[in-house]
Chains A and B, each alone.
Chain A
């Protein structure tokens, strides 16, 4: 199975980049590809729980529909920690995942090295935002 990695650097609602990422993920999943979404810089805000949009599409709801279809979501620990998403003590040595209760189910906070690992295994990479 071919795989696509999406690299998202912008937060939700500041530009169309998050919407574009979700659209690309949806189309790719529908076509049977494996899809990874790596969140960096303000992109780590994208999977936050409790988003309440007024009269425009809600990214959280979008992700909740894409994760069951196979979308894998990881956020950079340094970016997520800086923005208050990592809970508890952050160990000096980076491990695989870091604790948060603030993300939608299926999204995790990981070391940055997960991103090059995804690049290595993916057929194509599309970056958005930044």
Chain B
């Protein structure tokens, strides 16, 4: 199955911690995972943060998308983890994936 996760909360929040558990659980279960980061969720996309294991997700075939405007607003654009995609129109891509590609959608 293809799972889409949308995270808009910052990395240390209860919502983010719950979301990451589901993200990794889905991937370990052999499902396709697309992880969309917007708002404060883009803090998960930076490579320096020690709590973020998203590099493992990427190396295991997961997809991660972060919204450019939210990265820029937070001064994070130059710190994005290698492999995280930054779509030209994040919400357009998200809607397309949610409505046409996803079997399950979970938002946090």
Binding site for B on A (CB under 8 A): 2, 4, 15-17, 20, 23-24, 26-28, 31, 33, 123-128
Verify B99–A28 contact, CB threshold 8 A: yes
Interface residue stretch chosen among B25-33, B48-56, B90-98:
B90-98
Verify B91–A23 contact, CB threshold 8 A: yes
6 A-B contacts, Cβ less than 8 Å apart? A24-B94, A26-B91, A27-B95, A31-B95, A33-B95, A128-B8
- If over half of B's interface residues share one DSSP class (helix, strand or loop), that class is named, otherwise mixed; here it is helix
Verify A24–B8 contact, CB threshold 8 A: no
- If over half of A's interface residues share one DSSP class (helix, strand or loop), that class is named, otherwise mixed; here it is mixed
| B89 cross-chain contacts in A, Cβ below 8 A | 27
Verify A128–B107 contact, CB threshold 8 A: yes
| B70 cross-chain contacts in A, Cβ below 8 A | 16
Cα distance A23–B99 when bound, in Å?
A: 15
Count residues of B near A (Cβ-Cβ below 8 Å). 17
Q: Which residues of chain B from 3 to 44 have a CB within 8 Å of any chain A CB?
A: 6, 8, 38-40
Verify A4–B98 contact, CB threshold 8 A: yes
| A23 cross-chain contacts in B, Cβ below 8 A | 91
Verify A123–B39 contact, CB threshold 8 A: no
Interface string of B75-107 (1 = CB under 8 A from A): 000000000000001011011101100100101
| A2 cross-chain contacts in B, Cβ below 8 A | 99
Closest 3 CB pairs of A and B: A16-B39, A27-B95, A23-B91
Verify B8–A20 contact, CB threshold 8 A: yes
In the complex, what residue of chain A is closest to B6 when comparing beta carbons? A126
Given contacts A17-B8, A124-B102, A128-B8, contact A24 B95 (CB under 8 A): yes
Extra contacts besides A4-B99, A17-B39, A126-B105 (17): CB < 8 Å: A2-B99, A4-B95, A15-B39, A16-B8, A16-B38, A16-B39, A16-B40, A17-B8, A20-B91, A24-B95, A26-B91, A27-B94, A28-B95, A31-B96, A33-B95, A124-B98, A128-B8
